């Protein structure tokens, strides 16, 4: 079992989540963060820290967001680790709550 970062992180990337993760299993792309499912120890500390409410436990992932599990798994293999909080993206407040931001996702492997 693992926790999963979902759509509302895209274009926000607040990074409050990384500060509490005891195993540093977050990986950073240009405008999204993911959790490596094989490294996550399911401690649940990150979920309440996300101002965008973008983190779900794998077993509580809404049906509409099931594809984010595989996306986290795949991108965590390609992106660098992030272990310290940094500034959110400049337009984070504007994008927070906008639905279906997947088409804005940057840093997919074919772009790398």
In the complex, least distance from residue 36 CB atom to ligand SF4, rounded to whole angstroms? 8
Backbone φ and ψ for 27, nearest 5 degrees, come out as -130, 140
Q: Is 41 in the site for ligand SF4 (CB under 6 A)?
A: yes
The two structure tokens encoding residue 30: 């240009």
How far are the Cα atoms of 25, 31, 61, 75, 93 from residue 89, in angstroms, in the given order? 20, 7, 25, 19, 9
Q: Which does 74 bind (CB under 5 to 8 A by kind): ligand F3S, ligand SF4, none?
A: none
Helix and strand totals (H; E) in the chain: 3, 4
Q: Which region, judged by CB under 6 A, interacts with ligand F3S, from 15-23, 37-45, 68-76, 98-106?
A: 15-23
Q: Is 60 in the site for ligand SF4 (CB under 6 A)?
A: no
User: Can you say how many angstroms the Cα of residue 15 is from the centroid of all Cα atoms in its chain?
Assistant: 9
Q: Is 54 in the site for ligand F3S (CB under 6 A)?
A: yes
Q: Over the Cα atoms of the chain, what is R_g?
A: 12
- The footprint of ligand SF4 (CB under 6 A) covers 3, 20-21, 23, 25, 35, 40-46
- The footprint of ligand F3S (CB under 6 A) covers 5, 9, 12-17, 33, 49-50, 52, 54-55
């Amino acid at each position: 079992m693992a926790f999963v970062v979902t759509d509302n992180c895209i274009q926000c990337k607040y990074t409050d989540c990384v500060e509490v993760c005891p195993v540093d299993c977050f990986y950073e792309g240009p405008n999204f963060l993911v959790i490596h499912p094989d490294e996550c120890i399911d401690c649940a500390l990150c979920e309440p820290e996300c101002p965008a409410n973008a983190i779900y436990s794998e077993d509580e992932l809404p049906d509409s967001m099931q594809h984010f599990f595989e996306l986290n798994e795949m991108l965590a293999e390609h992106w660098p680790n992030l272990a310290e909080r940094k500034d959110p993206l400049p337009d984070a407040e504007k994008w927070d709550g906008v639905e279906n931001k997947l088409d804005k996702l940057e840093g997919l492997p074919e772009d790398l």
